[in-house]
Amino acid sequence: MEKDISIFSTILIIVTIVILGGLTAFILLKNEKDVATTNITTYDENPFIDGQPIMGDDKAPITLVEFGDYKCPTCKKWGETILPKLSKDFIDSGKAKFLYVNFPINGKESTLSAIAAESVYKNSPKQYWIFHEALFNAQSKDLTTEQILKISSKIDGIKGKVLEQDIIHQKTASEIDKDMELVSKFDVQETPTIIINNIKIKDPFDYVLIKKIIEKELKDIDEYE
Ligand code: CA
């Protein structure tokens, strides 16, 4: 009889352990799923990228879009910390292309810089990314027309006179309007905002999540082909 009780107790303990283990695994998996869905927003389509500056191979299967502002310090930080990782892991190898869309939200200097960047992209596309980086590096200064022209004069290949006229007459303002259409279509609220294909990320500095999404998108494309 005592032996029966001891066997019964042992079985009871094992069953309890199995149930608790299963429950823990279920809770952990559920939490992971909850985190994943609250950190992203999925749209029906990718942002329309025609007419936007592209870094990397324009035929790369993954499209990364940054909505940024030249006067936004967090955008500068993103460009210095996350973008180099993306370049090394996905852009340099032709797996992803990177695009920058203007969302000027910090006043006149933001708009002026965006208009200037669009002008450089239109007139000297090869110099665009150099100018783009130079604007971010100078963001703590007053980005007046004079200052922007000074920055551009240090970059070979940018036509200063053309840029000056474009800024004065706001000739590339329609490009900013196009960018703002994307801002509203993808309900972009802050800078920087990052969209991977059709997936908007809540935390643009969460590189673990960004990498996971890109790898999943690449795997889906592989399976489809
Ligand atoms: Ca644009």
How far away, in angstroms, is 210 Cα from ligand 1 center? 23
Ligand 1 center–CA 41 separation, angstroms: 22
CA distance 210 to 204: 8
- Tell me how far the alpha carbon of residue 170 lies from the centroid of ligand 1, in angstroms: 14
Main-chain phi, psi angles of 196, to 5 degrees: -105, 115
- Report which of 83, 135, 86 is spatially closest to residue 110, judged by C-alpha positions: 135
What's the 225 CA to ligand 1 centre distance in angstroms? Answer: 31
Identity at 119, one-letter amino acid code:
S
Ligand 1: centre distance to CA 125 (Å): 12
User: What backbone torsions phi and psi does residue 61 show, to the nearest 5 degrees?
Assistant: -65, -30
pLDDT lower than 50: segments of the chain: 33-35
Percent over 90 (pLDDT), the chain? 81
How far does residue 22's CA lie from ligand 1's centre (Å)? 51
Reported pTM: 0.84
Give the pLDDT confidence score for residue 223 in this predicted structure.
85
Report how far ligand 1's centroid is from the alpha carbon of 176 (Å).
6
Residue 27 is predicted with a pLDDT of 56
Q: What is the dihedral of CA 167, 168, 174, 178, to 10 degrees?
A: 40
Task: Quote the pLDDT of residue 50.
Answer: 93
The pLDDT of residue 12 is: 75
pLDDT score recorded for residue 34: 46
So what's the pLDDT on residue 89? 98
Residue 48 Cα, ligand 1 centroid: separation in angstroms? 11
| pLDDT given at position 24 | 61
pLDDT at 49: 92
Question: Rounded to the nearest whole angstrom, what is the distance from the C-alpha of residue 191 to the centroid of ligand 1?
Answer: 15
Distance 3 CA to ligand 1 centre (A): 79
115 CA from centroid of ligand 1 (Å): 9
CA 174 – ligand 1 centroid, Å: 9
The dihedrals phi and psi of 122, each to the nearest 5 degrees, come to: -70, -45
Question: How close is the Cα of 153 to the center of ligand 1, in Å?
Answer: 22
Phi then psi for 133, rounded to 5 degrees? -65, -40
DSSP assignment letter at 169: T
E-state strands within the chain: 40-42, 54-55, 62-68, 96-102, 193-196, 199-201
